[in-house]
Amino acid sequence: MKIDWQIAPVSDWQVDVLVFFGMEDSPEPLPGFERWLNAQGQWLSGSSVLRDFQGKLQQTAVFYGPPGSKVPRILLAGLGGEEKFDAEKLQTATAAALRKCRELRLKRVGLPLFALHGLSVPVGKALEETLIGGLLGLHRFDEFKTREVPSSETPGSLVLLDENEPDEDLRAAPHFAESVASGVCLARDLVSSPSNRVTPGFLVETAKGLAKRFGFRLDVIDSERARSLGMGAFSAVAQGSGEPAYLILLEQVPSTPEKTAPLVLVGKGVTFDTGGISLKNRDQMDAMKQDMAGAAAVLGVFETLGRLKAGGHVIGVMPCTENMPGSRAYKPGDVVKSLSGLTVEVISTDAEGRMILCDALTYALKFQPAAIIDLATLTGACIVALGSEVAGVMGNRETLTKEILDIGAGVGEKYWPLPLWDFYFDHLKSDIADFKNVGDRSAGAIVAGTFLKQFVPEDIPWAHLDIAGTAWADKELGTAPKGATGFGVRTMVELVLTWPELGIR
Ligand code: BES
Ligand code: MN
Ligand code: ZN
């Protein structure tokens, strides 16, 4: 879907449908609608359909103008109750509206900017969220469907309508929204794609593509080099698979002459997690193609930053491998030496995420980062604790954790903090090595976070995002079809863009 502008008097607006938002129980239930009625829509003012529309979230109502109307249809899209209104509701309502337009096969959808006035968010932000919600809500992964009409055909364009030339802020919104949505959709597509397509090598190719398009620096460490560098934990996981493993490093170097400490984003890239020798149950093992969602999110962030040409010094570190029970696979009871020098006794080969992440975290230290954030589909326990719509946040700075919570709330991604108190380390005490890779079943998400914490010095702000639940949705969400969500991209983009103002150290 393209985003266009038409700046013209109301009477000249020409679209297949005009969208207005509606609120439940609000003194001004339909922002901007009066204005259009007065200018154009007298045919509508007496319609009883207006009374049937309650403004419930995701509710839509379509009504038709008399023959010959330049605007033959009006679509009302519900935002829900006024007191619960936030940016996410706007995304959800727009997604519902545009899905309705797709169902009706409408090509040219109009959005009057005055429909966004009078909401409790500034118009610029409202427009951004509307556009992002619309683009994300329409996104489908249908690459492998050969028998269906590609879903990208309708709506062909969303036309932003105004009578006067909009200010620069508003003018910039479409490019911002398209950049963000492209990043989220790249992450989604990578996660949706099966593991026989998205191998570690495929992720390398994707990173190469980004580096080429946007001028990022790229370094790819293959398993041989990883081994010789001393990444014993990453290599242990990689050696069970015939598919070559890679540690991908992608760097956006700012053009400013002064050197700034980079923000490092680490993403778990297990392209398929069988559990290894600690083999997973056969039920729903296919879902384990999603185990590279952390790396996909990091690549998504780079897609967005590249398009925006913004964000300063950022480095992505993505350890990518399959976790397979091959003949050379690492085994329960093995002891491996990580890049940090710390030794790990492997109790479960299914706790492979922390094994590859610990070496990635240690490697990240050499960039003298301003902060490290890791994203990983790390534990089923996090899903048990928080469900599949909330990601767990752990770390060593309350300021950073809080910032992630707040940014997430502003863009429609939910996070909740879990503690990393020192005593949790008791779960990881080993008789023969520095520690084990798993404890018993209790506090599984926290114990995984505690494992990672061993590899991050206190003086570096660090946050760990467990996205095991949120990377994939078993049902359709407001702005995502059933399946991969692209979770994390939006929060990380916003964190990167606002980082200089946050003052976290
Ligand atoms: N990739 C899984 C975690 C996961 C589960 C992601 C469900 C997405 C959905 C991870 O590698 C894993 O297997 N974790 C184990 C840890 C256990 C061995 C301590 C788990 O959660 O069971
Ligand atoms: Mn696993
Ligand atoms: Zn895993």
Spatial separation of the C-alpha atoms in residues 25 and 295, rounded to whole Å: 43
151 Cβ neighbours under 8 A, 6+ residues apart: 102, 138, 140, 142
164-202 pLDDT tens trace: 999 999 999 999 999 999 999 999 999 999 999 999 999
- Closest listed residue to residue 334, CA positions, set 377, 276, 272: 276
Spatial separation of the C-alpha atoms in residues 476 and 486, rounded to whole Å: 13
Mean pLDDT value across residues 129-135: 97
pLDDT category at 34 given cuts 50, 70, 90 is confident
Active site residue 354: yes
- Residue 62, amino acid: V
Residue 412: CB within 6 Å of ligand 1? no
17: exposed, middle or buried (Cβ count in 10 Å: 0-12, 13-18, 19+): buried
pLDDT category at 47 given cuts 50, 70, 90 is confident
The percentage of residues in the chain with a pLDDT greater than 90, rounded to a whole number, is 88
Residue 379: CB within 6 Å of ligand 1? yes
Mean pLDDT value across residues 88-98: 96
pTM as predicted: 0.97
> Which comes out higher in pLDDT, residue 408 or 52?
408
pLDDT at 190: 98
Ligand sitting nearest the alpha carbon of 468: 1
Given 227, 280, 337, 397, which residue is catalytic? 280
pLDDT at 32: 87
Spatial separation of the C-alpha atoms in residues 362 and 372, rounded to whole Å: 11
pLDDT higher than 80, residue 447: yes
- Rounded to 5°, angle at Cα 337 from 331 and 340: 140
pLDDT category at 59 given cuts 50, 70, 90 is very high
pLDDT category at 148 given cuts 50, 70, 90 is confident
Residue 444: CB within 6 Å of ligand 1? yes
pLDDT at 257: 77
Task: Order across the sheet with 435-436: list the strands.
Answer: 335-337, 343-345, 435-436
- Closest listed residue to residue 273, CA positions, set 296, 297, 250, 293: 293
Q: Which amino acid residue places its CA nearest to atom 17 of ligand 1?
A: 351
Beta strands in 139-196 (DSSP E): 157-162
The structure tokens 């798993």 sit at: 438
The two tokens of residue 482 are: 């059933």
Is the Cβ–Cβ distance between 433 and 344 less than 8 Å? yes
Three-state DSSP state, 250? strand
Spatial separation of the C-alpha atoms in residues 95 and 90, rounded to whole Å: 8
Strand pairing partners for 270? 321
pLDDT higher than 70, residue 152: no
Q: Which of 71-85, 178-192, 395-409 has the lowest mean pLDDT?
A: 71-85
Of 36-45, 60-69, 430-439, give the range with the top mean pLDDT. Answer: 430-439
pLDDT at 245: 99
Active site residue 108: no
